[in-house]
Amino acid sequence: MAGAATPAAAAAQPPVAERIWRRFSPAQRLARFSVYLVIVAAIAASVQSVEVIPEFLADAPEQVVDLLTRMWPADWAHYPDTVHDALIETLHIATLGTLLSLVLAMPVGILAAHNLVPSTPVNLIAKLILVSSRSVNSLVWALLFVGIFGPGALAGTLAIAFRSIGFVGKLFGEALEEAQRGPIEALTAAGAPWMSRMTYGYWPQVSPAFWSIALFRWDINVRESAVLGLVGAGGIGMVLDSALNLFQWPRVAVVLIAIFAVVVVAEVVVTQVRRRVI
Amino acid sequence: MLTLKHLSKSYVAGTPVLTDVNLDIDARGITAIIGASGTGKSTLIRCINLLVEPTAGEILFEGADLARLSGKALRRARRHIGMVFQEYNLVERLSVMENLLSGRLGYVSAWRAWRRKFPPDDIRRAYELLDVVGLTGFANQRADALSGGQRQRVGIARAVMQEPTLLLADEPTSSLDPKTSVEIMELLTEVGRSRGIPVLVNMHDVELARRFADRIIGMGDGRIVFDGPAAALDDATLTTIYGGKGWLH
Amino acid sequence: MSSPAVAALPADPFRRSPWPRVAMVALVIYVIYACAQLEVSWARVEIGLENAGRFFARLFPPNFSRWELLVKGLQESLQIAVLASTLGIVLALPIGLCAARNLMPSWATWPARFIIVSARSFHPVIVAILFVKAVGFGALAGILALTLASIGFIGKLFTEAIEEISDKEVEAIRATGASFASVLAFGVLPQVFSRFIGFATYQLDSNLRNSTMVGIVGAGGVGGTLFAAFQRFDYDYVCAILISIITLIMIGEVLATGVRAIFIGNATLSDVFRRGGAHRREMHLEDD
């Protein structure tokens, strides 16, 4: 009978009428309750102290509609003279930044994978690099690189690359750690050196994951690179910034539509490539 | 008890799965529906509680035509029809107790269900049923930690929790090994007989059907081709139901 | 193996498809072309590297002397993140549910999908700029922008999670005569709950990161302080702000891990403190 496999000792069960059913143990309920309490307290504290002027909030829908009416009709003539070039520059920033991040992230990802580099301190340092890369937003990275290299696409490309290292390196490291041991052990047994184990043992296993991560990140980077110009790091964001500063709303509309179109196209490209190649 | 009149169903227009099924189920006893795969056994069972909507015909149950019901009236009728599924269909991430209590959902408001505030009577009955199906002590196990046989026991207990006046079972043993299949059929018939609930079960194992059913209905090509006591099921009838002869003996 | 089969083997067993090599060459050509387009040259990089030395020297030691302004900024960022996450999640749940094609008719899924797609189409910073223009400088613009971003992200993932659930479990609950709300509570929610907690905590993390940045465009939070410090070349203060932001984000990640342990792993508080991040379910959905 099934009763034989009973985990919670069946023999010790009290009569039916005395059994009490609870979904969670008291300690589990306490834990959940504490989280609820913290959430409610955080919301209450935020609502109370945040500096929001209620009139502005009430006014918001009207203002948004007003903004949209000022944007329309869009200034299409603006597209060929400046927007187009800036858009292409944005795509270059996203693509070059992604490629650079792949080059930089691969060694860090390898150092973070415990089965490849069996040294915990090295793994931790590599992971720290990855976490810092992700914690600093791409706009902040852009500010840093504008400070170093001056305004322009170079700063933007580096910002995209450094922001992406954490993402690519983390996922790549995880893919490496999940790799099947069998083929690698076979190569080790055959006396293959480290480099051969990498190229013939690991790479064939992780390359689909690697290209899929790269594509995924490229898609994200196309979106990200569109805003870098706001801090002077090149691309379409600079055109947006100047149009905003001059209150040229119809031009803003053109830029926004262009960004939207490019983001949609990037997403379609990524889905298609993923379906066909990977 | 349950009467099906001229029941027909076609998923794609022009290719009927069920054609003009007429059937009377008595207030007690085990009725087995047998037939080859794809002859509409499952569709027939699912039509009864309208998990599949019939294309035409009547389903008379407790004085109403279920085929015409919808919304609240349909939900009220469904409460009285317990159902056991081939793949158990337990909510995997919920505990055994929560799965049993889900049989009471037709009677408890959504708000109480959400907070798991079920009447003490329901919980007491659930514990009794766990003892009946041999799963004492399993109340807080998650359903995905159980074996196939144990899951089907929970499935039966959940159906009985509804206090149904009719139990449907859609291939309840097809995913189980032969020994467990017999145990599950024993449990199902025992539960049905002791509580006076008629059981309508479809299965493709002729031997199990012979062993447990009082009445057997043979289906072929969407129609009823045999209807009689288990003893009357002979090789000639089986040949008309399943076709061919080579598989016998 | 018989001899005809041996004869059929290619002459060079290591010969591969030529396409990877062609793709590599194309990639290299593209990189050279794009670098030329962006006017990226080794000379510029060299000048930059010289600058970098001076730049990093000025970052250290971090200067915490104006900590009051810093704390005020961080506080506002936190408020923005908390309120935007709350509003975003509360709004995203019904919208995401309406967008699920396996539960809802198409007249409900289309508008819901439209909302989700439009909320996702722009970077939160761009949305923040527009809200700053619409409702003025300050936290409100940041809250609205990040709320919209949260609706897009959580709405999309929640919809996908619901569309991937097992119909069988839902069918069984429906067969008991349960109402739609009860079917949601017992058939749908248990199947998507752990994933929902996963991306809700992820979104809180993500909103925290973004809330430290929307200030760059005037939408409140510590980002404004950061941007101002950059523009004044106040690099030691910049360093102090960056350290604080990274610390805040890491604390946020630890808290999120704890919440996931409690709600997904049914952990107790002492489990959480003892194991720290032992129950970790990493998610592959970084999108900020």
For A105-153, how does the pLDDT look when each residue is reduced to its tens digit (9 = 90+)? 888 888 888 777 778 888 888 888 888 888 788 888 898 888 888 888 8
Q: What is the pLDDT of residues C260-270, one digit of tens each?
A: 888 887 877 77
Q: Between chains, do C182 and B98 touch, taking CB under 8 Å as contact? A: no
Owner of token pair 């609950």: C173
How much is the pLDDT for C11? 55
Q: What is the mean pLDDT of residues B64-77?
A: 85
Residue C227, token pair as written in the block: 């941007």
C132 and C44, same structural domain?
A: no
- For residue C151, pLDDT over 90 is answered with yes
> Residue B249: which pLDDT band, with cuts at 50, 70 and 90?
low
Interface of B with C (CB under 8 A): 49, 51, 75-83, 85, 87, 89-94, 98, 102-106, 108, 110-111, 113-114, 155, 158, 162
C259 and C230, same structural domain?
A: yes
C113 and C38, same structural domain?
A: no
C237 and C111, same structural domain?
A: yes
The mean pLDDT of chain C is 82
Q: What is the pLDDT of residues A22-53, one digit of tens each?
A: 778 888 888 888 889 988 988 888 888 877 77
Q: Work out the minimum CA distance from C182 to partner chain B, whole angstroms.
A: 5
How much is the pLDDT for A134? 82
Q: Between chains, do A27 and C269 touch, taking CB under 8 Å as contact? A: yes
Per the structure, the count of domains in chain C is: 2
How much is the pLDDT for A3? 40
Q: Work out the minimum CA distance from A9 to partner chain B, whole angstroms.
A: 7
Residue C83, token pair as written in the block: 């309120």
Q: Is residue C204 part of a domain?
A: yes
C142 and C251, same structural domain?
A: yes
Q: Nearest CA to A228 among A172, A183, A162, A182?
A: A162
Of A27, A135, A220, the CB nearest to C246: A135
Q: Work out the minimum CA distance from C4 to partner chain A, whole angstroms.
A: 29
**Percent of chain C beyond pLDDT 70?**
90
Q: Between chains, do B77 and C171 touch, taking CB under 8 Å as contact? A: no
Top-confidence residue, A250 or C15: A250
C262 and C200, same structural domain?
A: yes
Q: Between chains, do A23 and B95 touch, taking CB under 8 Å as contact? A: yes
How much is the pLDDT for A242? 86
Chain B hits for C195, Cβ within 8 Å: none
C55 and C105, same structural domain?
A: no
Q: Between chains, do B147 and A2 touch, taking CB under 8 Å as contact? A: yes
Chain B hits for A3, Cβ within 8 Å: 134-137
CA–CA dist C57, C156 (Å, integer):
44
* Least confident interval from A171-185, C174-188, C209-223: A171-185
How much is the pLDDT for C15? 60
How much is the pLDDT for C219? 84
Of B79, B87, B105, the CB nearest to C173: B105
C210 and C161, same structural domain?
A: yes
Q: Work out the minimum CA distance from C196 to partner chain B, whole angstroms.
A: 14
Q: Is residue A47 part of a domain?
A: no
A56 touches chain C (CB under 8 A): yes
Chain C hits for A39, Cβ within 8 Å: 86
C149 and C204, same structural domain?
A: yes
Chain C hits for A148, Cβ within 8 Å: 48, 51-52, 55
The DSSP code sequence of C227-249 is HHHHHTT-HHHHHHHHHHHHHHH
Q: Is residue A38 part of a domain?
A: no
> Residue A15: which pLDDT band, with cuts at 50, 70 and 90?
confident
Q: What is the mean pLDDT of residues C53-80?
A: 84
With residue C66 as reference, give the H or E element that holds it: none
Domain CATH number, residue A173: 1.10.3720.10
- For residue A225, pLDDT over 80 is answered with yes
Q: What is the mean pLDDT of residues A175-202?
A: 78
Helices A153-177 and A84-112 sit at what angle, rounded to 10 degrees? Answer: 40
Q: What is the pLDDT of residues C197-243, one digit of tens each?
A: 888 888 888 888 888 888 888 888 888 888 888 888 888 888 898 88
How much is the pLDDT for A58? 79
Q: Work out the minimum CA distance from A42 to partner chain B, whole angstroms.
A: 24
C43 and C176, same structural domain?
A: no
Query: What residues make up the domain containing A157?
Result: 77-276
> Residue C282: which pLDDT band, with cuts at 50, 70 and 90?
very low
> Residue A160: which pLDDT band, with cuts at 50, 70 and 90?
very high
**Percent of chain C beyond pLDDT 90?**
14
Q: Is residue C6 part of a domain?
A: no
How much is the pLDDT for A81? 79
Q: Work out the minimum CA distance from C188 to partner chain B, whole angstroms.
A: 9
Per the structure, the count of domains in chain A is: 1
Q: Nearest CA to B2 among B134, B111, B212, B165?
A: B165
* Domains defined along chain B, listed by start: 2-242 (3.40.50.300)
pTM exceeds 0.90 = no
Q: C188 vs B130, B161, C162, C193, CA distance in Å?
A: 24, 21, 7, 9
Chain A hits for B135, Cβ within 8 Å: 2-3, 6
Please, which residues have CB within 8 angstroms of residue B75's CB and are 6 or more apart in sequence? B106, C177, C178, C179
Do the Cβ atoms of C168 and B89 come closer than 8 Å? yes
Tell me if ipTM is over 0.90: no
Per-position b or e across C7-36, b if 16+ CB within 10 A of its CB: eeeeeeeeeeeeeeeeeeeeeeeebeebbe
How much is the pLDDT for A5? 44
Of A13, A21, A23, the CB nearest to B136: A13
The mean pLDDT of chain A is 82
CA–CA dist C214, C230 (Å, integer):
15
Q: Between chains, do C212 and A137 touch, taking CB under 8 Å as contact? A: yes
Q: Between chains, do B95 and A2 touch, taking CB under 8 Å as contact? A: no
Domain CATH number, residue C73: 1.10.3720.10
Q: What is the pLDDT of residues B95-140, one digit of tens each?
A: 899 999 998 998 888 888 888 888 888 888 899 888 888 888 888 8
CB atoms within 10 A of CB B148: 16
C199 and C235, same structural domain?
A: yes
Q: Work out the minimum CA distance from A30 to partner chain B, whole angstroms.
A: 16
Best-predicted range by mean pLDDT (A168-172, A248-252, B154-158, C257-261): B154-158
Chain C residue with minimum CA distance to B114: C185
Q: Is residue C282 part of a domain?
A: no
Chain B residue with minimum CA distance to C177: B75
C36 and C166, same structural domain?
A: no
Query: What residues make up the domain containing C221?
Result: 67-275
Q: What is the mean pLDDT of residues C271-276?
A: 69
